[in-house]
Amino acid sequence: MADRAAIILAAGQGTRMQSKLPKVLHPVGGRAMLDWLIALAEDLGCQRIIVVASPGTPEVQAHVRDTLGDQALVLQETALGTGHAVRCAETALAGFKGDVVVLYGDTPLIPSSVVEALFEQISSTSELGVLGFNAADPGAYGRLVTGSDGMLQAIVEAKEASADELAISFCNSGVMAAKAGLLFELLAAVTNDNVKGEYYLTDTVGLARARGAACCAVNCEETDVLGVNSRVELAQAEAAFQQRRREQAIRDGVTMIAPETVFFSYDTEIQTDTFIEPNVVFGTGVRIASNVRIGAFSHIQQAVISEDCEIGPFARLRPGSVMSAGAKIGNFVEMKNTQLGPGAKANHLAYLGDSEIGAESNIGAGTIFCNYDGFRKHRTIVGAGAFVGSNSSLVAPVRIGDGAMIGSGSVVTQDVEPNALALGRAQQTVKSGWASRFRDAMTAIKTARSKR
């Protein structure tokens, strides 16, 4: 296989996004659109990845440097069209002899399989190829004109197309692959003799055909190359991603009562026989083992859930949450940076923060792990088989020994030894008849006020 490189065009200003955040850094499925393209290039085995950015987007420049290094970033000082943008990467790829694919930082959903098919074509039957799709509404898309042999003859812009050409539904995605040497030779011959005075990447097809080079068009789905230029289109890309991800989860053995209400991130991992109720949201960094049940309206982010666990409904697992096999988190329980041991339970109304909870322990309703002193976070350690009564507050740092019991309503500020009972509440006082006297007095006051 020839060496591969990717040129990702990310110099657009994205003014229609109406956002201070550069367009290509807006997320789809919890990942910046630009990172989708970087990951695609890496999946394709590209040894070189070049991102073409604008001088006016320092955030994009910093992102590329942090992700790929300084050598991956080139700037398009003046916006002179897609052909000019690709040429900006020529110096960075000096001496590269392999195949190059041109990608777009605002087209996040391209499967690696379709670009792989494009690479295969330029390694076998063609010297230059593009990705095309059959558009439901071709509109202003450039049309791909193919011959009887299926080879690409021309890309015709809609404004310049004849009636017969406008009837073509096979449209240009903009994604192109070619041998590096050929691509830059063709781009050197592209002129800006057009209404916009720009250098168009699409002109390379006509130039390649004129010199007898074979060109091809590889078909893909329209949603594969969905471009994002506005927040409306960003929402459409998100919807397309979620639909794909839901279908994949179902094929992988996950049951969802109402899949249209479940939202995934790009890296969500769920094993077979997991059951998901409606209105569940998975943030990034979630790994779920088999036979897990997730109740409705739960939110899970950067958490690891082992087999046979139960979550929710109305549960929140924040970053650093780890549930061991058979553990249970019930309704209105929040976990953060907490390891819940095998078979341990917090069935309802609790906050478990910065803690380790041993196997088979039980955390009662209304329990709070007081982990923050206003300056620092502290840890709470609960041993195996411990029982924490309802409405208790464990003030960290504190350690509850194996088998220990905490009486309901206790405020625990000191370590509790194994198998001990800790009571940290005020002694109860009972005043006989006080409630009746209080009600009588309040009734008399209310009656006197009503007569004024």
CB 217 within 8 A of CB 152: yes
Q: What are phi and psi of 274, to 5 degrees?
A: -85, 140
* Contact call for residues 59 and 22 (beta carbons, < 8 A): yes
Q: Is the dihedral of CA 446, 448, 451, 452 positive or negative?
A: negative
Q: pLDDT tens, 270-322?
A: 999 999 999 999 999 999 999 999 999 999 999 999 999 999 999 999 999 99
Residue with tokens 């907490």: 338
Residues belonging to the active site: 348
> Above pLDDT 90, what percent of the chain?
93
In the block, tokens 């910093």 appear at 62
CB 187 within 8 A of CB 204: yes
Query: Residue 412: pLDDT band by 50, 70, 90 thresholds?
Result: very high
What rounded mean pLDDT belongs to the chain? 96
What mean pLDDT do residues 230-247 have? 97
Radius of gyration, CA atoms only, the chain: 31
Q: What is residue 375's DSSP assignment?
A: S
Query: Would the pLDDT of 183 be above 90?
Result: yes
Q: Is the pLDDT of residue 157 over 90?
A: no
Give the integer Cα–Cα distance in Å for 4 and 2: 6
Q: Say how many residues make up the chain.
A: 452
All structural domains of the chain, each given as residue ranges with its CATH number in brackets, are: 4-225 (3.90.550.10), 231-422 (2.160.10.10)
Please check whether residue 299 is in contact with residue 283, taking contact to mean a CB–CB distance below 8 angstroms: yes
Q: Are 261 and 279 in contact (CB under 8 A)?
A: yes
What pTM, to 2 d.p., does this model score? 0.92
* CB contact at 8 A, 173 and 209: no
pLDDT more than 70, % of the chain: 100
397 alpha-carbon distance from chain centroid: 35
Q: What is the arithmetic mean of pLDDT over 102-116?
A: 97
Q: Nearest to residue 50, comparing CAs of 82, 19, 73?
A: 73
Q: Is the dihedral angle over the CA atoms 134, 137, 138, 141 positive or is it negative?
A: negative
311 CB-side CA count, 13 A: 39
Q: Is residue 452's pLDDT more than 90?
A: no
CA distance readout (Å), 91 to 74, 248, 257: 9, 41, 54
CB atoms within 10 A of CB 58: 11
Q: Provide the pLDDT for residue 218.
A: 96
| Residue range 386-395, pLDDT digits in tens | 999 999 999 9
Pairwise pLDDT comparison (428 vs 95), residue with the higher score: 95
In which element (H, E) is residue 202 found?
none
Q: Give the tokens for residue 213.
A: 């080079």
* CA distances, 264 to each of 31, 82, 153, 276, 285 (Å): 11, 33, 41, 12, 10
Q: How far is CA 429 from the centre of its chain?
A: 55
Residues 6+ apart with CB under 8 A from 266: 28, 29, 30, 31, 36, 241, 284
CA 120 – CA 135 distance, rounded (Å): 24
Distances (CA, A) of 122 to 4, 22, 182, 334: 12, 33, 11, 53
Token representation of residue 70: 């300084």
Say if residue 141's pLDDT is above 80: yes
- pLDDT, one tens digit per residue, over 358-384 is 999 999 999 999 999 999 999 999 999
Cα–Cα distances in Å, from 334 out to 316, 351, 367?
A: 5, 5, 11
Q: Are 135 and 222 in contact (CB under 8 A)?
A: yes
The answer to whether 379 and 394 have CB atoms below 8 angstroms apart is no
Strands (E), 33-157: 48-53, 73-75, 99-104, 128-134, 143-146, 152-156
Is residue 316 within 8 Å of 336, Cβ to Cβ? no
* Cis upstream peptide for 397 (omega within 30°): yes
Q: How confident is the model at residue 194 (pLDDT cuts 50, 70, 90)?
A: confident
Give which of 368, 374, 373 is closest to 355, Cα–Cα: 368
Tokens representing 18 are 């109406």
Q: How confident is the model at residue 159 (pLDDT cuts 50, 70, 90)?
A: confident
Per-residue pLDDT band for 427 (boundaries 50, 70, 90) equals confident
